Amino acid sequence: MIDIAWSQFTPGTALAGGLLIGISAASFLLLNGRIAGISGILGGLLTPMRNDIIWRVAFLAGLIGAPIIWQLFADLPAIEINAGYPAIIMAGLLVGLGTRYASGCTSGHGVCGLSRLSLRSLVATLSFMATGFLTVFVIRHLIGA
């Protein structure tokens, strides 16, 4: 039996934000002809090739700039990070290494890949979802219990 956290459930803003993410990916695809995959855009900067740097930096600047611009006009919604530093470092290493081996993350596989009905992306999404659920289960209910 699944217990729903109704007090935290925010389908409206979740859907609105999701549509914006979709519009971002769609405009990047239809205007620039590229997949908006964040791990790939970032990772590509580590093996820089000619004419392949500026657009990556621009995309990341827009992404990093979003909370900065937001804060000029309003308070940013809470960013609650409860993991400690060793966990954050371990998580970062796993996310960096894993997404490069997988050639994509939540955006490239989960959003864009599923949208173009790619089998590879479906397998990737099911794989990271499975270990994501499992990891939280282990941390919160086995170790934390």
Partner 1 sequence: MKYTLTSLFAGFLFGLGLIISGMANPEKVLGFLDIAGLWDPSLAFVMGGAIIVGLISFTFAKKRTLSFLGFDMKMPTKTKVDKRIVFGSMMFGIGWGIAGFCPGPGLVAFGAGEIKGVVFVASMVAGMMLFEIIERKRARSA
Q: Which amino acid is at 118?
A: S
Q: Which residue type is seen at 2?
A: I
10 is a contact residue toward partner 1 (CB under 8 A): yes
Residue in the structure block whose two tokens are 């914006």: 20
**139 in contact with partner 1 (CB under 8 A):** yes
The residue (of 13 and 50) whose beta carbon lies closer to partner 1 is 13
- The binder of partner 1 chosen from 48, 73, 80, 143 (CB under 8 A): 80
> What CA–CA distance (Å, rounded) separates 129 from 75?
31
For residue 54, state whether it binds partner 1 (rule: CB under 8 A): yes
Q: How far is the CB of 121 from partner 1 (least distance, A)?
A: 8
Least distance to partner 1 from the beta carbon of 90, Å? 6
73 binds partner 1 (CB under 8 A): no
Which residue has tokens 């890949």?
A: 113
Residues 17-36 touching partner 1, rule: CB under 8 A, are: 17-36
For the chain, state the CA radius of gyration. 17
Whichever of 4 and 50 has its CB closer to partner 1, that residue is 4
Residue with tokens 């966990």: 87
Residues touching partner 1, count (CB under 8 A): 113
Residue of 49, 50, 85, 143 that binds partner 1 (CB under 8 A): 85
Q: Token pair for residue 87?
A: 């966990």
Residue type, 55: W
> What span, in angstroms and rounded, lies between the C-alpha atoms of 112 and 75?
30
